[in-house]
């Protein structure tokens, strides 16, 4: 536990008593604290989550620079420490200060795009679980939500409704070829937009923000559901794509070349099931399966009900690949050989089937459990928990596991990893009390679904001359 001015405000990343080389694992990471925070909420220990939300909010407005450049207002830090420093003018007295890292000290110096999105999701979970809406209605908290939204919804050069981010801006915080529009960020973005819309206090000043938020939700859901989805039917369509199509009526909108379909996918894709691909850009589809992005797409209803069931069908069909000896593979398959050297820059930590490159992360158990409960298929999560229980505790709660079958403790994995323990605890507590998953789930929005259907019914290339009374810009 981390304390600030006598109050608990978070949990450190890892606490291995046999390892004195803590690196940066002795601080509170926002994304790492989320499963801990959910576990505290499920156990009725609300104060630490409230303290975490309010103290991280204070860090949002701190000055942050990298080579004389400052990012936009609204950025949340990746992590923070509590330091004891001498009082100005009195060396005999000390005070505690929060020391945040917005990416200035991170490997690769990448700003954490996901931190602010996780903060909004946890804030909503706190209100849903406790019934205490006074926290989210505070002026400073409302301002914090708006700052994050304005940063994410800012106009730019991109034509797509997805968030454009650099490599390493999420749970995969090293170079892994996920720059562009990675699925994980899009799912968290969609979820955060829905949570924010639910929590924003109505006022005249937020009308424009709410309109932009609704527009983005519709456009984002259309984009992900249409273009990120892959199953046997869609794979065969891509296999027969025509290229160099120039018109509003183009079927192959992103000019994807059929030869991009990797050989492993041809054999791996089951007849029943499908998933959302990892990334999409002009002339590029990242066909890797990324667990967090797919699971959170189920949880926040970014994936349709049919797609959500198909993702769980695929996990069952490919159990030996995605679960194996320890749930759950962060991505599948691993980058190997020349592809690994080029894409990761020969990263010695992300070697094939290790760490972010096909490693297995026990913390993903809790997202799997929430997704399975939402789709009324808890037996899938229960089976995964049984696999983890065989040796997760005996192995002293490692950060991740290596090898294709997840048989070895990660070569650089820290033991007593907080979010490995918290992920398991949340999974067990939710199986015991499935209704508690409602604090994280976003149900399908009927208004958005109607706008989505209307948009798909509009012929390609046709532009509405007269808008309906209640409209969405897409």
- The answer to whether residue 1 sits within a structural domain is yes
Q: What is the mean pLDDT of residues 9-34?
A: 87
- Domain membership of residue 181 (yes or no) is no
- Looking at residue 259, its pLDDT comes to 93
CA-to-CA distance for 353 and 334, rounded, in angstroms? 6
Q: What Rg do the C-alpha atoms of the chain give, in angstroms?
A: 22
Residues in the chain: 474
Of residues 144, 80, 68, 67, the one with CA closest to residue 112: 80
- The pLDDT confidence band at residue 74, using thresholds 50, 70 and 90, is confident
Q: Which helix (H) or strand (E) holds 95?
A: strand 90-101
CA distances from 201 to 50, 128, 194, 463 (A): 19, 16, 14, 34
Answer whether residue 83 is part of any domain: yes
Mean pLDDT of all residues in 418-429? 97
State the residue range of the domain holding 17.
Answer: 1-131
Token digits of residue 258: 């059929």
Strand-pair partners of 276: 229
Distances 122 to 41, 72, 285, 441 between C-alpha atoms, Å: 10, 22, 31, 12
The pTM (predicted TM-score) of the whole model is 0.93
Which residues contact residue 186 at a Cβ distance below 8 angstroms, ignoring those fewer than 6 apart?
162, 163, 220, 224, 228, 293, 302
Asked if the model's pLDDT at residue 449 lies above 80, the reply is no
Q: Does residue 112 register a pLDDT over 80? A: yes
Residue at 114 is within a domain? yes
Question: 134 vs 444, which has greater pLDDT?
Answer: 134
Look at residue 474 and tell me whether its pLDDT is greater than 50.
no
Count how many domains the chain has. 1
Angstrom CA distances, 424 to 318, 391, 430, stand at 22, 12, 10
281 is written with which tokens? 């850009």
CA–CA separation, 156 and 309 (whole Å) = 35
**Distance in Å from the first CA to the final CA of the chain:** 45
Please report whether residue 107 resides in a domain. Answer: yes
| Contact criterion met (CB below 8 Å) for 93 and 8 | no
Q: What is the share, in percent, of the chain residues with pLDDT greater than 70? A: 93
Two structure tokens written together for 239: 């296999």
Q: Say if residue 101's pLDDT is above 50.
A: yes
423 occurs within a structural domain: no
Higher pLDDT, 141 or 467: 141
Q: Given phi > 0 = left and psi -120 to 50 = alpha, else beta, which region is 131?
A: left
CA distance 72 to 66: 12
- Where does 262-311 show beta strands of DSSP type E? 274-281, 284-290
Whether residue 109 lies inside any domain: the answer is yes
Of 272 and 158, the structure prediction assigns the larger pLDDT to 272
Decide if pLDDT at 30 tops 70.
yes
Read off the pLDDT band of 461 (50, 70, 90): low
Q: How far apart are CA 56 and CA 120, in angstroms?
A: 11
Average pLDDT over residues 342-360: 96
**Average pLDDT over every residue of 47-53:** 97
Question: Is the distance from CB of 121 to CB of 82 less than 8 angstroms?
Answer: no
Beta strand spans in 135-240 (E): 229-231
Question: Closest by alpha carbon to 194, among 116, 128, 114, 124?
Answer: 124
70 within a domain of the structure (yes/no)? yes
Place of tokens 């020969």: 346
């Amino acid at each position: 536990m981390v304390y600030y001015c006598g109050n608990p405000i978070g949990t450190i990343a890892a606490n291995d008593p046999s390892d004195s080389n803590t690196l940066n694992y002795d601080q509170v990471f926002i994304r790492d604290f989320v499963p801990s925070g959910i576990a505290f909420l499920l156990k009725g220990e609300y104060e630490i989550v409230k303290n975490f939300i309010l103290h991280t909010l204070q860090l949002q407005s701190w000055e942050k620079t990298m080579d004389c450049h400052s990012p936009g207002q609204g950025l949340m830090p990746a992590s923070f420490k509590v330091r004891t420093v001498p009082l100005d003018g009195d060396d005999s007295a000390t005070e505690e200060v929060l020391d945040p890292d917005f990416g200035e000290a991170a490997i690769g110096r990448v700003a954490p795009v996901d931190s602010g999105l996780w903060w909004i999701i946890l804030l909503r979970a706190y209100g849903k679980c406790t019934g205490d809406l006074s926290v989210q209605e505070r002026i400073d908290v409302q301002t914090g939500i708006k700052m994050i939204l304005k940063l994410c919804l800012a106009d730019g050069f991109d034509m797509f409704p997805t968030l454009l981010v650099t490599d390493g801006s999420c749970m995969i915080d090293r170079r892994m070829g996920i720059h562009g529009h990675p699925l994980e960020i899009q799912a968290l973005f969609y979820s955060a937009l829905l949570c924010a819309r639910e929590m924003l206090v109505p006022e005249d000043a937020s009308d424009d923000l709410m309109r932009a938020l609704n527009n983005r939700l519709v456009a984002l859901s259309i984009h992900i559901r249409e273009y990120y989805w892959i199953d046997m039917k869609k794979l065969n369509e891509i296999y027969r794509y025509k290229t160099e199509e120039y018109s509003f009526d183009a079927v192959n909108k992103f000019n994807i070349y059929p030869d991009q379909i990797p050989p492993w996918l041809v054999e791996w894709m089951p007849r029943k099931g499908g998933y959302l691909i990892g990334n999409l850009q002009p002339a590029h589809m990242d066909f890797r399966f990324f667990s967090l992005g797919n699971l959170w797409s189920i949880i926040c209803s970014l994936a349709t009900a049919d797609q959500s069931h198909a993702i769980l069908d695929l996990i069952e069909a490919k159990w030996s690949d995605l679960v194996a000896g320890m749930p759950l593979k962060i991505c599948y398959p691993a980058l190997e050989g020349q592809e690994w050297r080029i894409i990761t820059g020969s990263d010695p930590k992300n070697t094939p089937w290790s760490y972010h490159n096909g490693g297995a992360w026990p913390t993903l158990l809790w997202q799997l459990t929430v997704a399975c409960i939402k789709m009324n298929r808890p037996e899938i999560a229960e089976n995964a928990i049984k696999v983890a229980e065989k040796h997760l505790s005996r192995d002293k709660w490692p950060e991740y596991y290596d090898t294709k079958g997840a048989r070895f403790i990660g070569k650089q994995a820290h033991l007593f990893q907080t979010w490995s323990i918290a992920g398991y605890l949340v999974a067990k507590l939710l199986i015991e009390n499935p209704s508690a998953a409602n604090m994280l789930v976003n149900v399908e929005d009927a208004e958005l679904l109607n706008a989505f259907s209307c948009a798909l019914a509009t012929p390609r290339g046709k532009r509405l001359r007269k808008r309906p009374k209640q409209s969405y810009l897409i």
